[in-house]
Structure 1
Amino acid sequence: MNWEGCKNILCIRPDNMGDLIMSGPAIRALKETFNAKITVLTSSMARGVISHMPEIDDAIIFDLPWVKINETPDTAGFYKVIDTIKQRDFDAAVIFTVYSQNPLPTAMLVYLAGIPRVLAYCRENPYHLITNWIPDKEPYDFIKHQVRRDLDLVASVGAFTKNEHLYLSSDENVWAQITDKLTALGVDTNKPWLIMHAGVSERKRQYPAKYWVKAAKELIAEGYQILFTGSNAEKQLTDELQLQTGAGSFACGGLFSLYKFIGLVKKAPVVVSVNTGTVHIATAVGTPVVVLYAQTNPQHTPWNVPNKVLPFAVPAPLRSKNEVINHVNKTHYNSPVHIPQPEEIVSAVKSLVNQPVKPVQRFLEIPSENQATAAS
């Protein structure tokens, strides 16, 4: 189906904040190519970042029952969101997914709302649910970075952008307010500092607290002040890390709104984080990042910024029951990998800070095990 006349497009990314940020370039391609109004249907977890993404004109916030959420799904709300979508009279919808997600529940939602054009990856034949069906070959034939996966999806209907970088807007004027908070905490903003972000949304991504503390102490010895950042829910964690680290470290859990946190990350020389939304925020404001990368999904490494990825294995009891993810564990994450040591974090930070020209580590498409065997 031809998309040239599509001026009112619904983009569906019902997951976390980082997922929506990674879909930003593809959303930008739709907006620029079709000169369209873009509405996103996303979760309450991603709500805060929407105002920082200039590609997005409007939003529908709803926690879909087939996405991991904290609250019990609301059946009445499900029918209400279908009516809301109907009233917006969309010309087309794009469903963004990771390779381990099934788009068909979302496609049914869109079908019931009567949107005439629907674009999505799908493994099985969706028949009338998806009008622009792209057979999903990931992760069995290859694995693409999530940003490339999304860009290739919209390219199939003729949408392109020259700017494939992640982007979040930030207000330079907010730095004075951030500085006031840091100064009140005891941070000297005229001396070197960096961010360490330990909080995770899933226990399988946790990096041991004792290693955070040791790495922080070593970086303090190198002359850095350490800001342990986190949400309100992570305040206890940041307080404990600061207490164990001692002088030169500062607990910032719950100290900054998302608006100010984005500004803080933009000013940081380096961010050290587990693989969570903070990594994609750093990427979207151009800040180099060291990521302690739990081997959950190889698609979500930093995109087009200077970075160092330090991977570690997910403990067997915490691994997903999703069979697609199990395939990746068996074929891609099948070699033992040690947990990164604190000195590796310090070395990674120093390499990013000290390089006069910081190279970007690009994501190379990963062939399947069968392809690699056939080619050898």
Structure 2
Amino acid sequence: MTRVLLIRRDNIGDLILTTPLLRALAAQPGWQVDVLVNSYNEAILDGNPDVARVYRYKKLHHRDAGESAWQVISERIRTVLAIRRAGYDIAIVAKEAWDKRPLQWATLSGAKRVVALCDAGRPGHPRITDLVTAPEFGSEHLVERLHRLLAPLGIHSPPGPLRLFADALRVAALRAEYGIDGSVPVYALQLSARKVKQRWPVERLAALARRLAAAGPCQLVILWSPGAADDPRHPGDDDKAAALVAASPGLPLLPIRTTSLAELMAAVQLCDQVITADGGAMHVAAGLGKPVVALFGNSNAAAWAPWSVPHEILQTEERDVNAISVDAVFAAHRRLCGASD
């Protein structure tokens, strides 16, 4: 058996975009693929048959209420020891370019081979046995870039779709709770974005909701990052969601306050289309095979576009979603629905 440790301890979207690489590795006869993730994105791999074992890394600022820094560090030490005992043949730094933190984990694994990426012309590191050079980041999609890591291993399959698995029981529970029976289309409006220039204002969201409802019977699922805007660990958009509901009386809104990543995945599974800014939720939608209207601000659409699903990308010269009109978003929605302009 060939034992592979893939290291991807980054954001939600980063891990989702790594799932085609996981599929290609797991498809090799006699290969076992384990993954090191962080506690924030761990649920992305729930139910994924390509992964044999998941190791969790928790960042100190993500520790739970009442959990001490020492408890987090102790768990980290236990994880290091478990990885070391596993006896990995290959460690893969699944990142657009290697850096010292994931490389430390690859080194601690004791793997005979360490595979990592870098831009052409950038030096490697003595611990990297298989350094893969790639064009400048942003010139190709991240899924394609990560697939370059397969070449030193003799794997040359093209990247497939993203692989995400919503929990069927959670999906059924939300369907019953919110009365989503499939009799009318269900469109998701996802409100949250980490970057300031990716945040579409409430007034335009409300105007879009009115346009969607006026176009025909539908249900509008409202999704957002829960919590207060000043939460130091995970800033949320409860106030923004409440403002949207208040500005949309009489509309078929279904605000679903998802308190976990697993719940977000279940809620997105219920939808026929997702309208969202670039970010983790956009990749959740693509991972579940949902058509996406994607509003891009100052991020690179070539690298981060929804992968392998029908989508419309909206981005202006200003590289700020505030420059994107309601008309433009509604037109993109209709095109995805197969309607004429």
1:56 aligns with 2:51: yes
- Structure 2 SS opposite 1:52: coil
> Partner letter of residue 279 of structure 2?
T
- CA–CA distance in structure 1, aligned partners of residues 38 and 259 of structure 2: 21
Question: Which residue of structure 2 aligns with residue 278 of structure 1?
Answer: 281
> Partner letter of residue 312 of structure 2?
K
Q: Which moved more, 1:118-127 or 1:21-30?
A: 118-127
> Partner letter of residue 291 of structure 1?
A
- CA–CA distance in structure 2, aligned partners of residues 212 and 337 of structure 1: 12
TM-score by length of 1: 0.76
| 2:95 paired residue among 97, 104, 117 | 97
Give 1:169 shift.
Answer: 2.5
Q: Which moved more, 1:44-53 or 1:197-206?
A: 197-206
Distance 1:80 1:256, change over 3 A: closer
How well do the aligned residues superpose, as a CA RMSD in angstroms?
A: 2.9
Give 1:61 shift.
Answer: 0.8
Question: Which residue of structure 1 aligns with residue 40 of structure 2?
Answer: 45
Map 1:135-284; keep pairs closer than 5 Å. Answer: 135-139=133-137, 143-161=139-157, 164-170=160-166, 175-183=171-179, 189-223=182-216, 224-233=218-227, 234-255=237-258, 258-284=261-287
- Structure 2 SS opposite 1:121: strand
- Structure 1 SS opposite 2:83: helix
- CA–CA distance in structure 1, aligned partners of residues 185 and 109 of structure 2: 53
- Superposed CA deviations along residues 157-195 of structure 1, whole A, max 9, x for unmatched, are 222446611122245565542221112xxx675233310
Distance 1:86 1:176, change over 3 A: closer
Question: Which residue of structure 2 aligns with residue 318 of structure 1?
Answer: none
Contact kept in structure 1, 2:170 and 2:266, CA below 8 Å? yes
Map 1:115-130; keep pairs closer than 5 Å. Answer: 115-123=111-119, 124-130=122-128
Q: Which moved more, 1:148-157 or 1:260-269?
A: 260-269
1:304 aligns with 2:317: no
Distance 1:170 1:105, change over 3 A: closer
> Partner letter of residue 131 of structure 1?
T
Contact kept in structure 1, 2:147 and 2:159, CA below 8 Å? no
Contact kept in structure 1, 2:197 and 2:298, CA below 8 Å? no
> Partner letter of residue 226 of structure 2?
N
- Superposed CA deviations along residues 256-282 of structure 1, whole A, max 9, x for unmatched, are 754454344234221101111221122
- CA–CA distance in structure 2, aligned partners of residues 136 and 354 of structure 1: 37
| 1:22 paired residue among 17, 35, 45 | 17
* Residues matched between the structures, number: 321
Contact kept in structure 1, 2:88 and 2:109, CA below 8 Å? no
Distance 1:347 1:288, change over 3 A: same
- Superposed CA deviations along residues 79-108 of structure 1, whole A, max 9, x for unmatched, are 444323212211111111135xx4233213
Question: Which residue of structure 2 aligns with residue 323 of structure 1?
Answer: none
- Structure 2 SS opposite 1:19: helix
> Partner letter of residue 302 of structure 1?
P
Give 1:156 shift.
Answer: 3.2
Contact kept in structure 2, 1:239 and 1:251, CA below 8 Å? no
Give 1:312 shift.
Answer: 4.7
Which structure 1 residue ranges, 4+ long, deviate > 6 Å from structure 2?
A: none
Give 1:349 shift.
Answer: 0.7
TM-score by length of 2: 0.83
> Partner letter of residue 189 of structure 2?
M
Q: Identity, % of aligned pairs?
A: 22
> Partner letter of residue 350 of structure 1?
R
- Structure 2 SS opposite 1:164: coil
Distance 1:210 1:312, change over 3 A: farther
Map 1:287-298; keep pairs closer than 5 Å. Answer: 287-298=290-301
Distance 1:115 1:144, change over 3 A: same
Contact kept in structure 2, 1:13 and 1:20, CA below 8 Å? yes
Contact kept in structure 2, 1:29 and 1:161, CA below 8 Å? yes
- CA–CA distance in structure 1, aligned partners of residues 277 and 32 of structure 2: 34
Give 1:228 shift.
Answer: 0.8
- Structure 2 SS opposite 1:305: coil
- Superposed CA deviations along residues 287-346 of structure 1, whole A, max 9, x for unmatched, are 1100111222331101111100012578xxxxxxxxxxxxxxxxxx7xx99721011111
Contact kept in structure 2, 1:18 and 1:280, CA below 8 Å? yes
- CA–CA distance in structure 1, aligned partners of residues 156 and 168 of structure 2: 30
Give 1:197 shift.
Answer: 0.3
Show structure 1 runs of 5+ residues with no match: 1-5, 315-332, 357-376
| 1:344 paired residue among 301, 305, 328 | 328
- Structure 1 SS opposite 2:35: strand
- Structure 2 SS opposite 1:156: helix
